[in-house]
């Protein structure tokens, strides 16, 4: 058993590793020499200190680029990092229990890879490390410096009173003054105190300033727009299920043990929201669909006295399904990928009933039961190529009634074909 688990984990690790591609890029060393190479694209959530690269796409030797050796590296149209030695204030504004008590920033001189957001007459960079997000800027006259914003605890009275830490949480908003002094167009009447400290707001300020200075030699580039990936997709999803309604128990005076089976067609859509990390490999999916199961058949079962009982069963179950779940992609190449997903499905019956009829028992041989709302878990996996996708999905059985004498369980396994329309 342990060997099987180890083999499974090893296989999964190999699949995960295969998804990280070496993509065409460049690196610039300390002498200013530019090397065209292939960089391991980790879709960095945090700013790195090193990077992996190969000299050719099919090369076997994997090299390491260190921040001490390379002043810049990037992947074409995807990522770029520039080395700077800066004073950084590292307050974690999310961790309110460990805020400092000084309004004065506590700087530390560090050499970092900064990620450009906007470059031009004024350039904006971001640095991320866990929960810490800091922004830096530079102009022709101002060397790279941090835009100062951080929270701290103060004993000065405020209208909001004291928090549980025994002090008032205040903010050092020095970035307002920095923007006003150094990143403001001539005659600009903007009230910088209304600018929030976030990426989108800051990008707007720097783009506006760069538009005012287009005559300068610096090229104006918004790297955030270049990097921005598709974060939403909508597809038509058509499927066919092998459906089974299993009934077992007692109907009036006779026993039943019946499986009703039928292919079921389903039609729906799939909305997919890509999560902003790991190269778009994770997404949340919603897959509303409609399907109808309707069939009838004749059966023979023995009753409690060993007699064979003939009866007729008719079942109808139509439902609106709303599966919600998580999907993980594994890229084979830019055009094709495999995926796995797990979902929880909320099911809302439109119509649902099952009828049993034994003509030998007259009115006592008939039984009608409603099929009620039931939710279930689904797992699936498939393959996507450009706009097309195919998936096999397995649904756990759903209990469709509350009757103690009769058990009704419905489960399906099917194929879903999808086509991206957006």
Distance CA 42, CA 19 (A): 10
- Write phi, then psi, for 418 (nearest 5 degrees): -125, 150
Cα 371-376-377 angle, rounded to 5 deg: 165
Q: How many CB atoms lie within 10 A of CB 385?
A: 12
Residue 375 confidence (pLDDT) above 90: no
Q: pLDDT (tens digit, 9 = 90+) per residue, 254-275? A: 778 889 999 999 999 999 999 8
Tell me what pLDDT residue 156 has.
66
- The confidence band for 305, taking pLDDT boundaries of 50, 70 and 90, is low
User: For the chain, how are helix, strand and coil distributed in percent, rounded to 5?
Assistant: 15, 55, 30
Residue of 382, 417, 416, 419 lying closest to 233 (CA atoms): 419
Domain annotation for the chain: domains and CATH numbers: 22-76 (no CATH), 87-228 (no CATH), 232-420 (2.40.160)
- Write phi, then psi, for 48 (nearest 5 degrees): -85, 170
CA count, 13 A, side-chain hemisphere, 62: 9
- The confidence band for 218, taking pLDDT boundaries of 50, 70 and 90, is low
User: Comparing 382 with 160, which gets the higher pLDDT?
Assistant: 382
Q: pLDDT (tens digit, 9 = 90+) per residue, 129-185? A: 999 999 999 999 999 999 999 999 987 655 544 444 445 899 999 999 999 999 999
Distance CA 329, CA 283 (A): 8
**Signed CA dihedral, 193, 198, 203, 204: sign only:** negative
pLDDT mean across residues, the chain = 86
User: Comparing 225 with 262, which gets the higher pLDDT?
Assistant: 262
Residue 382 confidence (pLDDT) above 60: yes
Distance CA 414, CA 291 (A): 12
Q: How many CB atoms lie within 10 A of CB 77?
A: 12
- The owner of tokens 């610096």 is 218
- Out of 7-21, 113-127, 342-356, 408-422, which region has the weakest mean confidence (pLDDT)? 7-21
Distance CA 120, CA 205 (A): 12
């Amino acid at each position: 058993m342990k060997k099987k688990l180890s083999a499974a984990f090893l296989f999964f690790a190999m699949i995960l590793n295969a998804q990280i591609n070496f993509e065409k890029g460049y690196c610039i060393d300390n002498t200013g020499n530019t090397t065209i190479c292939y960089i391991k694209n980790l879709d960095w959530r945090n700013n790195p200190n090193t990077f992996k690269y190969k000299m050719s796409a099919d090369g076997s030797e994997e090299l390491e680029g260190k921040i001490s050796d390379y002043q810049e590296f990037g992947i074409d149209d995807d990522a770029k990092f520039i080395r700077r030695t800066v004073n950084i204030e590292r307050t974690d504004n999310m961790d309110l229990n460990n805020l400092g008590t000084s309004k004065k920033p506590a700087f530390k001189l560090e050499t970092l890879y900064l990620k450009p957001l906007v470059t031009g007459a004024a350039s904006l960079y971001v640095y991320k490390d866990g929960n810490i997000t800091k922004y830096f800027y530079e102009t022709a006259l101002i060397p790279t410096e941090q835009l100062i914003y951080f929270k701290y605890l103060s004993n000065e009275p405020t209208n909001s009173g004291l928090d549980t830490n025994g002090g008032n949480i205040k903010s050092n908003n020095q970035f307002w003054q920095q923007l006003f002094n150094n990143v403001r167009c001539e005659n600009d009447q903007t009230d910088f105190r209304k600018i929030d400290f976030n990426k989108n707001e800051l990008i707007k300020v720097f783009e506006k300033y760069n538009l005012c200075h287009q005559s300068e030699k610096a090229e104006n580039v918004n790297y955030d727009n270049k990097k921005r990936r598709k974060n939403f997709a909508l597809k038509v999803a058509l499927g066919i299920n092998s459906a089974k309604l299993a009934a077992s128990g007692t109907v009036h005076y006779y026993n039943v043990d019946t499986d009703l089976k039928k292919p079921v067609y389903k039609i729906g859509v799939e909305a997919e929201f890509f999560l902003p990390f790991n190269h778009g490999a994770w997404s949340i999916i919603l897959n509303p669909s409609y399907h109808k199961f309707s069939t009838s058949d004749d059966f023979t079962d023995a009753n409690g006295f060993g007699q064979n009982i003939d009866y007729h069963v008719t079942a109808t179950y139509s439902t609106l399904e709303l599966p919600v779940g998580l999907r993980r992609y594994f890229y084979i190449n830019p055009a094709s990928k495999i995926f796995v997903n797990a979902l929880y499905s909320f099911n809302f019956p439109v119509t649902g009933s099952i009828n049993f009829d034994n003509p030998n028992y007259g009115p006592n041989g008939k039984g009608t039961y409603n099929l009620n709302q039931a939710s279930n878990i689904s797992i699936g996996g498939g393959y996507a190529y450009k706009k097309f996708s195919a998936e096999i999905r397995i649904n756990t059985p759903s209990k469709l009634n509350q009757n103690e004498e009769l058990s009704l369980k419905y489960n399906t396994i099917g194929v879903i074909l999808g086509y991206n329309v957006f």
